[in-house]
Amino acid sequence: MMSKGNYYVTTPIYYTNAKLHIGHTYTTVAADALARFKRFTGYDVKFLTGTDEHGQKIQEAAEKLGRTPQEHVDEMVKSITALWKTMDISHDVFIRTTDEKHKKGVQGIFQQLYDQGDIYKDFYEGYYCKPCESFWTQSQLEEDHGCPECGRTTEMAKEEAYFFKLSKYGDRLKKHFKEHPEICYPEARRKEMINNFLEPGLEDLCVSRTSFDWGIPVPFDKKHVIYVWFDAVCNYITALGYGEDQDKDFKKFWPANVHIVGKEIVRFHTIIWPAMLMALDLPLPEKVYGHGWILFAADKMSKSKGNVVYPEVLIERYGLDALKYFLLREFVFGQDGNYTNQTFITRLNADLSNDLGNLLSRTVAMVEKYNGGFIPQVGAMEEVDEELQQVLTSAASKVEEHMEDLQYHDALEEIWTVIGRTNKYIDETTPWVLAKDEKKKSRLDTVLRNLSESLRITAILLKPFMESTSKKIWKQLGLTEEMHWEDAKYFGKISGLIKVEKGDALFPRLDVKKEVELLEAENKKVAAAQQAAKDKEASMALGKEEQKAKGKSAEKATDKAPEESTMATIEDFAKLEFKTAKIIEAKAHPNADKLLVLQLQVGEETRQVVSGIAKDYKAEDLVGKDVILVANLKPVKLRGEISQGMILAASNEDKLVLGTLDGEIPSGTEVS
Ligand code: ME8
């Protein structure tokens, strides 16, 4: 197929100072669905995501953990890329701001703007807190000029810094906002930018720092590091080779078709970044979309507040497509929305299990029962068939329109109109009644055929949003050819002798009460863990203070932190549950040489545990051994096998020995 053109879509690059939650997942899932949609509808797509790894916050997060900033970001990036892999995110490029090519690109940009006079050296004036090494504005201060972070008195101070002439671009930006309103979506956010920033007039922006060193050095003045936001926004072009090799991706994909971001960073993307591009004489992104926040307990999710929902648990229990569907369908892109466990489970049951899942299982079952599993040929069409056909064949163009406006919830609603109309069609045509009358076989055939056509179209429409569900529907319908978006616009595409293939339910029905309880317990655990981390941080900060008071350096105090953190309190110990267990079955892990998959008897219960003991134990020698199980660890999947706990073992570099029991005692007995 001829390409319809190039399409460049980006997410924000996420900070590497904390684990990502469903807020970050939301942006990435939305950008991913758009990238998939554009590829599927014929565009040559570049989809960029990545990580923002410099700045004081990250340096501090690393220090707290007793790591160097580089070690810290390397660890964090591993967990972020692993999450995107679990979520089957289809990015083409993953940029890290610590990549050499990005750093060079940013330095080149900084140098150019300095050389042409758009960056100049001046003094940054503000209230300075020496112990915190931070500048504050008057409005941020507490009483008596107190530092908002530590409360100590700040002093007026001046520091040398570099500034970007943002003010120079105010008028051009205003004009651009007027002529190209797409620069800022949705409209409410555009108005906010105009009224709060552009109309009052822009001030020059301080773009260097000297109070910490985890950043890209100013190329001609190494005491300064480049401000993290100046560094970060450049990723959108350095990822395409700007400053290095501009003839390939940069030429092909810049300007971006859309930067998808959360509403709190719209100013950086619609004012600061465009002004920088103007200074560089580069075209501006076509569209910046600032979506709303997912709120939890009516508040913005934040790790420090302990009100965070992580995607892993939802994916593990309900499947990736369920989470993707919920995020894109439940929240209106552009507006804030509340996450609750109740709405999550209820929507899964109503839309996925009932509407979609039942439609597929009923259709396949009826084709099997009434026509030996073969999708029949169509007979004469009646009015009701034509009405169905009309709904089905008009859906794809409507989805295209909604996706042009990034209205994911409307696109999915449109697909559910198809599903809803088809379910109604079953009630109207009552195939089970037709099946009782031999003379109505041709009518029954037509109905079954139309139902199969509807599911064929549904599978195509769903592909950009729920790839694996779409494939499952395709397979159960017995279709093997490649899917094409345009085929969703035509009725009657199923051709030849096709045999359906009954499969598992797409989305098993959930017990709402039970699942909500389970998820709530999970939320409480997360909040407790956050609180414990905060307490630890506070006590470490106190330790640091004491060290300082004794005249020791802050660095020494940080060095000591890991030692302190290995001491467990009795409360920490009480959180773990140890139980005796008997190994009743052991076999090699299908995908990993070092692992064994064990079945354990733990009282009445059987548990599967994956253990890294294959080097030291043969599977057959383990059966019958009594071991000690850490019984309340969160289940994890290890190379595709679920592991519900961990067994204790002693190990050194050479050898590993299982911890066993000195005497007989029933399995499931508590160990304390
Ligand atoms: O701001 N609801 O990174 P970040 C919806 N590094 N979306 C949310 C959300 C929520 N509750 N919480 C986070 C940064 N997000 C910078 C970006 S770009 C050049 C630099 C999403 O890790 C949303 O997209 O704080 C938001 O803008 C982004 O995560 C912030 O991620």
Q: Following DSSP, what letter does each residue of 501-535 receive, concatenated?
A: -----SS----HHHHHHHHHHHHHHHHHHHHHHHH
- Cα 91 from Cα 347, distance rounded (Å): 28
β-partners of residue 95 are 50
Q: What are phi and psi of 166, to 5 degrees?
A: -65, -40
Task: Looking at the CA of residue 262, tell me the nearest atom of ligand 1.
Answer: 27
Amino acid at 650: A
475-517 pLDDT per residue, tens: 999 999 999 999 999 999 998 899 999 999 999 999 999 999 9
Query: Looking at the predicted structure, is the pLDDT value of residue 550 above 60?
Result: no
Please tell me the residue having the least CA distance from ligand 1 atom 19: 233
- Cα 590 from Cα 76, distance rounded (Å): 29
Q: How many angstroms does the Cα of residue 68 sit away from the middle of ligand 1?
A: 24
Q: Quick one: the chain helix, strand, coil %, rounded to 5?
A: 50, 20, 30
- Cα 586 from Cα 235, distance rounded (Å): 49
Query: Looking at the predicted structure, is the pLDDT value of residue 390 above 50?
Result: yes
Please tell me the residue having the least CA distance from ligand 1 atom 24: 262
Q: How many angstroms does the Cα of residue 13 sit away from the middle of ligand 1?
A: 8
The per-residue pLDDT for 318 is 97
Query: Looking at the predicted structure, is the pLDDT value of residue 70 above 70?
Result: yes
What is the CB < 6 Å shell around ligand 1?
12-15, 23-24, 26-27, 52, 232-233, 235, 261-262, 264-265, 293-294, 300-301
In three-state secondary structure terms, 599 is strand
Higher pLDDT, 552 or 404: 404
Amino acid at 439: K
The per-residue pLDDT for 557 is 26
Task: Looking at the CA of residue 52, tell me the nearest atom of ligand 1.
Answer: 6
Please tell me the residue having the least CA distance from ligand 1 atom 21: 24
CB 348 within 8 A of CB 357: no
Q: How many angstroms does the Cα of residue 317 sit away from the middle of ligand 1?
A: 25
Nearest to 306 by CA among 618, 547, 529, 569: 529
Please tell me the residue having the least CA distance from ligand 1 atom 26: 262
Q: Following DSSP, what letter does each residue of 240-300 receive, concatenated?
A: TTTTT-TTTHHHHHPSPSEEEEEGGGHHIIIIIHHHHHHHTT-PPPS-EEEE-PEEETTEE
Q: How many angstroms does the Cα of residue 141 sit away from the middle of ligand 1?
A: 26
Q: What angle do CA 196, 200, 205 make, to 5 degrees?
A: 85
Q: Which one of 9, 10, 14 would you pick to mutate in the ligand 1 pocket, going by the greatest count of ligand atoms within 8 A of its CB?
A: 14
The per-residue pLDDT for 543 is 56
Residue 405: pLDDT band (50, 70, 90) is very high
249-280 pLDDT per residue, tens: 999 999 999 999 999 999 999 999 999 999 99
149-192 pLDDT per residue, tens: 788 889 998 889 999 999 999 999 999 999 999 999 999 999 99
Candidate from 33-47, 183-197, 281-295, 625-639 with smallest mean pLDDT: 625-639
- What are the residue ranges of helices labelled H in 288-382? 311-318, 320-330, 341-347, 358-371
Tokens of 229: 């936001």
Higher pLDDT, 255 or 531: 255
Residue 642 Cα to chain centre, angstroms: 22
Task: Looking at the CA of residue 265, tell me the nearest atom of ligand 1.
Answer: 27
- CA distances 437 to 186, 335, 433, 442, 449, Å, are 56, 53, 7, 10, 18
Task: Looking at the CA of residue 295, tell me the nearest atom of ligand 1.
Answer: 11
569-596 pLDDT per residue, tens: 566 677 788 999 999 999 988 877 888 9
Q: Which one of 51, 265, 268, 271 would you pick to mutate in the ligand 1 pocket, going by the greatest count of ligand atoms within 8 A of its CB?
A: 265
What lies within 8 Å, CB to CB, of 304 at 6+ separation is 530, 534
Q: What angle do CA 290, 335, 261 make, to 5 degrees?
A: 20
Q: How many angstroms does the Cα of residue 260 sit away from the middle of ligand 1?
A: 10
Local structure of residue 567 (DSSP, 8 states) = P
Q: Which one of 24, 53, 57 would you pick to mutate in the ligand 1 pocket, going by the greatest count of ligand atoms within 8 A of its CB?
A: 24
Q: What is the CA radius of gyration of the chain?
A: 30
Q: What are phi and psi of 647, to 5 degrees?
A: -100, 150
Higher pLDDT, 367 or 588: 367
The residue to which tokens 């000195």 are assigned: 662
Q: What are phi and psi of 153, to 5 degrees?
A: -70, 135
Q: Indicate the pTM of the whole model.
A: 0.80
Candidate from 15-19, 411-415, 647-651 with smallest mean pLDDT: 647-651
The per-residue pLDDT for 653 is 63
Local structure of residue 649 (DSSP, 8 states) = E
Please tell me the residue having the least CA distance from ligand 1 atom 3: 14
Q: How many angstroms does the Cα of residue 233 sit away from the middle of ligand 1?
A: 13
107-151 pLDDT per residue, tens: 999 999 999 999 999 998 889 887 776 778 888 888 888 888 788
CB 363 within 8 A of CB 456: no
First to last CA, the chain: 66
Q: How many angstroms does the Cα of residue 259 sit away from the middle of ligand 1?
A: 12
- Cα 12 from Cα 52, distance rounded (Å): 9
CB 286 within 8 A of CB 182: yes
The per-residue pLDDT for 274 is 98
- Cα 269 from Cα 277, distance rounded (Å): 11
Which H or E element spans position 35? helix 22-40
The per-residue pLDDT for 542 is 56
422-440 pLDDT per residue, tens: 999 999 999 999 999 999 9
Q: Which one of 16, 27, 235, 270 would you pick to mutate in the ligand 1 pocket, going by the greatest count of ligand atoms within 8 A of its CB?
A: 27
- Cα 539 from Cα 530, distance rounded (Å): 14
Q: How many angstroms does the Cα of residue 24 sit away from the middle of ligand 1?
A: 6
The per-residue pLDDT for 560 is 26
The per-residue pLDDT for 564 is 34
The per-residue pLDDT for 539 is 66
Nearest to 477 by CA among 459, 503, 501, 512: 501
**CB atoms near residue 672 (< 10 Å):** 7
Q: How many angstroms does the Cα of residue 587 sit away from the middle of ligand 1?
A: 44
Q: What are phi and psi of 637, to 5 degrees?
A: -100, 125
Q: How many angstroms does the Cα of residue 25 sit away from the middle of ligand 1?
A: 9
